[in-house]
Amino acid sequence: MTDELLIKVLLKESTIEENEKVEKWLNAAEANKKHFLQLETIWNVSNTLKNENKRDEEQAWASFKTRRADLKPGGDNIKPLNLGKIWLRIAAVLFIAVGGWVAYSLYSSGNYTELAATNQVRTETLPDGSALTLNKNSKISYAANFKNNRKLKLEQGDVFFDVAKDKIHPFVIDIEKISVEVVGTSFNIKHIKKDTEINVETGIVKVRLANNEIKLYKGEKIHIDGNTSKLVKEQSTDQLYNYYRSNLFQANNIALSKLVITLNEAYGSNITLDEKIKGLTINTTLKMGSINQNLEIICQTFNLQLSRNGNSILLSAKK
């Protein structure tokens, strides 16, 4: 792979065939992705600095070649760039004006921008155009140089991702020991303590845990907890996970206990079920309005009674 072709891709002057060739090369090895990202950073940063320094080009080019060699992945056969004085000026300005460490520091930096939702749902658009919806009590962070390095860390909570398509820069989310990678798709991740659930609405989502990897497609989900050793996917049977975006509790033949867990999460309530009714299933849609009204609907549906003890609510069968 030549740097000339990679630069054409960066400048959006490449053909469809050339884009496909580069995409295949990027997917062949992590070292290739690293090389491309380094090249892209050098190009982008230098464009903002190119008028700041007019040092001798020959001296600067020699410095660039020395430092640039340290960035090449070992064993990768990358042909040298030969775009004449345009590239020479860019390289010279970058490595002289900023000391030659910009490209490395942008990739090794631990700088992340944090997004958090506390008492209400929050929507955000990332630098690459991807849209996020954070449920309350959710926290996520993304890399400072996000357009070139689409990496995020989900610390806790419930987040819906509508990812902008970019085959050259995969969208990667780290969740403790779990890694989620996509190109352009929409999906929901819920991570509470050690429990993680991923629901895919469109596209394909690749999930990794240790040496295990699995692909999720539209309408599929996976649940991972602290005891998970093998990744097993299943069909999404309801849209309950989506309540904070739709403002609806869509319970499609699910266990009543599952609906109650979601109600507690949404309202900050403490609802419990008597042992005798934990096996009930429910098929209904509730609006995310008054919790008392929703509890009344549930009680009428199953002929239940409601008793309160402080902030606790117990649902049980009528005697």
Q: Go through the domains of the chain in sequence order and give each one's CATH number.
A: 3-108 (no CATH), 112-235 (2.60.120.1440), 240-317 (3.55.50.30)
pLDDT at 167: 87
Using CA atoms of 267, 271, 276, 278 in order, give the dihedral in degrees to the nearest 10. Answer: 40
- DSSP state at residue 230: S
Sorted by sequence, the CB contacts under 8 Å of residue 250 that are 6+ apart come out as 238, 239, 240, 242, 243, 285
**Interatomic CA distance for residues 90 and 45, integer angstroms:** 9
pLDDT at 148: 86
pLDDT at 59: 57
pLDDT at 82: 46
How would you class 187 by CB atoms within 10 Å of its CB: exposed for 0-12, middle for 13-18, buried for 19 or more? buried
Helix, strand and coil percent figures for the chain, each rounded to 5: 35, 35, 30
For the cut 70, the answer to whether the pLDDT of residue 132 exceeds it is: yes
Q: How confident is the model at residue 256 (pLDDT cuts 50, 70, 90)?
A: very high
pLDDT at 54: 44
pLDDT at 117: 92
For the cut 50, the answer to whether the pLDDT of residue 109 exceeds it is: no
Per the model's pLDDT, the better-predicted residue between 165 and 42 turns out to be 165
- pLDDT digit string (tens) for 263-297? 999 999 999 999 999 999 999 999 998 999 999 99
For the cut 80, the answer to whether the pLDDT of residue 213 exceeds it is: yes
Q: Please state which of the ranges 30-34, 42-46, 100-104, 111-115 shows the lowest mean pLDDT.
A: 100-104
pLDDT at 75: 43
Which residues make beta-bridge pairs with 285? 250
**Interatomic CA distance for residues 52 and 41, integer angstroms:** 18
Q: Do 210 and 226 form a contact (C-beta atoms < 8 A)?
A: no
In this structure, are strands 312-317 and 270-273 parallel, antiparallel, or unpaired?
parallel
Which residues make beta-bridge pairs with 272? 314
**Interatomic CA distance for residues 305 and 295, integer angstroms:** 10
Angle CA 75–81–86, to nearest 5: 155
Listed residue (230, 202, 195, 226) closest to 216, CA to CA: 202
pLDDT at 244: 96
Give the residue carrying structure tokens 């609802």: 271
pTM passes above 0.85? no
- pLDDT digit string (tens) for 169-201? 999 999 988 999 998 899 999 999 889 999 999
- pLDDT digit string (tens) for 45-74? 555 444 444 445 455 555 555 555 555 554
Phi, psi values for residue 274, rounded to 5°: -65, 145
